[in-house]
Structure 1
């Protein structure tokens, strides 16, 4: 069954809704109030459901206020109860957001909410599913709830109807079909109502598309294909449940999603800049300009405020310089990920068993340790790997198995097990791997191609205040003597720059690159020393100098390029050493808010936050008060681009803002809290939340953070 113990408070709350509201006409929140009467529901239908469109750009709350003008206060109590039920499924929204909106409706009706410690709110600590943006179109959801209640009461025999799951399902479907326009039909809440009311018959899935995908994937387990979608889903659950170890349940999301919906299994978001520009030529311009400047000057510095992608672009440009002389080679981990790409889990199990030894027998724990299986779990982690492995092995055993007794077996039939629970590939399983998976098998046998890596032709170094000529070019380093004397001696050691120059000189047909991150943090004149002249493009391969430690002649080869990155918040370009400025070309990278315009977070229709607009507003204030060198770059927020779910975006934004952006702003305006207050006014003007000190902005999270950023 789909019932989960962690959602028991939700089932209990919905049971209260059935008893108090649907059967007894009483309020869910205020049980002494007769709120859910036919008269009140009919008035709601007339004033709200049948009059959804009002002139002007109003949000839901403003529209509802206009719709309920002249209505008795008790209708606001109905609005509060409706919101209570509407919020139950969502795992996205915090309790504070729910209480704020429910409390707003209660206040309009002159009602007081129970305290936050009241048991009535226990169900709102955790929802059972992530709700998408469409679910937060409140008009459609509340309309379905109110229409469902009115239909039940007008038909009579409410208790008898609510005891009949197929009848309740048909009533909900009838109501939805009667609503003009599919966009106004709350199919997601329909699924949620059925699950909360009958968790033993319905799934915790509020997406019709997901239900259809599951049925399509396991259609061979459906005993009667002529039944409706939810009935077929129940037949599939009953069949799959018989494959589980005794006492263990399963969930279509947590345990099986990569089987029925592999396209939506995403790796964890990577916190690197992502190309999301609506102008794809922008990426090409940065690289092409850099390559042109390097060809002419040999030395280039990418400069700009923090978070403008300087280090990212330095790597891209370096890779582009060396890419013609190598073929991309993959790491072992990346190679394994390429092997399992697009494979379903039973393919991975079969391929892993064949690769390790197709005549071997395995326990479930041994299968979990197979390289390909581990690669899949790195790509798509699950809570209980052994449970998933067991389920797939059981489902894909041969029907003639003497040790696995199932009512239905899923094709292809690949596995079987011994009496002592050791699993193995059947002859049919071996043929399957040799036939269907032959391309993957051949790739495994060949292994990664043995070619050069970009790192063979480049080196990275980060300058800092204590970085010296001896680290960069050459110098004496202490060396402990051997034997009884163990005298301290010194030896000359070449630095990273000299080593790379020597390699480039010995390999004149290939390009080499040195990337110096944070080049302006070091003492450039001392680090480069006499080599400052040698790095000029017209001195390369022509002029040489004698090095002070080794006394050897040294020159900088023509096939070595130097790329530096410079953070203007640390030091303005105007303050750089004049000698350095003459020998480097400079390419400015500015914040690009337009790259963030496609990114928004929409938890409710009132609280949509556009990240691009937010960054523009923030930087406008910073430029006015501190200067352009201190702007916040777009790359801080680019991790949001790879996240499709608003709830996950919100968590990511919380981390970015509170642990990256705010500390940077505090550093910019250290000791100048009056200026920081002008940059972040909405983080100082909250009545109900106080900062830790008068000079610090309030630390906000989740929906409160979105609301404050919207006010910038």
Structure 2
């Protein structure tokens, strides 16, 4: 069992106020000898558990104090200004009124809660700023889910037994090893398998697993998962504990007051749903303290975090996690399909769209709340018929109506998609880009499913796109290039002229997208990647047609232009596009297309591209040019005033690996200068003289000769072989 840190935390909060009372000028928010953290732990030393470091390499005791100090500020007992903590007159009075550490801490918690409630008491302000609760059942749900956020995510303590620290990296890692990494694929129910998987687990891992199971079923109404079933599922894990722990009354009340009909996928595939919950909590616990605070305070940072965690997409469960942590910002609709229909029905103009469906729904919700003077329920009898014809409103106090469609289908046993391979040394060595950036790109593509690499010419966009595609899909990566005359019939499907026995006729021919979709549907466990080179050169609305919709709603079937059969894009198909910034095409893309793709920039002045040429030259030292090409390219780009027209390093990275002085001069005169000449068309030849390689070399030589010898070692320019 983990060591309780609760008593120390309460004592340390009192110690903080005592220290500040003795220092009327305030104490610095630092960890040095005179800082508040060090002074506090001198009075209340760190326990062995608190002396352990978290993933951000900070002592857990310091992290806890940082979180707890927020309560002092909210209670009005302390201020934090310009890095200085100062006690308030109310804080001085509190020291006298509440002499015990437990009594003081308890009063702080009460005042914090009262202050929070007071801020929300103004109904008009609430309707203007947050999505308000629609009924008492949702009030209970919000109070209950807040326990998981405050105790679990913020404090790291057990929701069921607050004196135990179980929301830890160690406990969640053990859960991953026993539940995700070693799944039980044999016969038996979910409950039977969980009991067996956790039979030899630590009590901390068992208790945390029980709380995660509780959190996952918490939003579901009784018609989806009855109270008895919920309790049975939780008890199956609790019964494995060596020291019994009871479900708190507040949590039991929340389990009785579900608010959402989550859809069949969340109900029927408990394993996949729990994998998503565990993976998100694990990523959170492994994040830095700053990142944790950001996602708990900023709903949009939380959304980016949740959908950035790799693994099965399962949007209904991820949408549920958005609502469970920030119900004041995200709606209780977990279905992507429903979200799209609601937005389209209630948004006033296309210009009102932010490009983010949840931001749009938040704005719509606030507008409707202010217009009506009350909460908004998109599933009630007033609103649901407006966005879903022929539907039944949900009963008062429950979740979505009975006619709500099931959420996205999950793969059948044996058809689970293979996760992306991790970025490795082979991939890094192929593109000369660090593994962190490559792994981030892989994670982003796996989560979003569509990614665009954009930047100036020569930054390796196509090369990197193909490298990523082949790393993911091996032989199942394909490339197509868009151009102004490219059409839907070329890309997906259309009639083409053919000659049969001397007679001209027309046959329906599949394009590259249709062909790769058919292949992906036949091998659900494999990944397929389509690279669209120069995606901005085509008329995207003309090329994609009705397929636009499917980029955002992968599990919705539509009718095609040339076929009556329902069609959908499979989950195991991923799209990488490349785009030049020199023609301003990103700004010209409509919002509908922009929101369907994630974007990553490749620019010569920024990582990862800024180090590519130097790394390539280091790997090709037989050329004996040292770092001169990298220095010249850097100098050239500093002269180019518009960053969108910078020159990328790939011009100076010949495929055969041979880069002599002669080859360098030839590339400069035949490839780089003509590119810049086009950029400066009509400005006269004199403009181009500044870009000539002999001009740049002369400037570098003059600059080196003017640098004092005792400062040469301080130069930030790449070292150059003499």
Of structures 1 and 2, the larger Rg is shown by 1
Instruction: Provide the TM-score with structure 2 as the length reference.
Output: 0.35
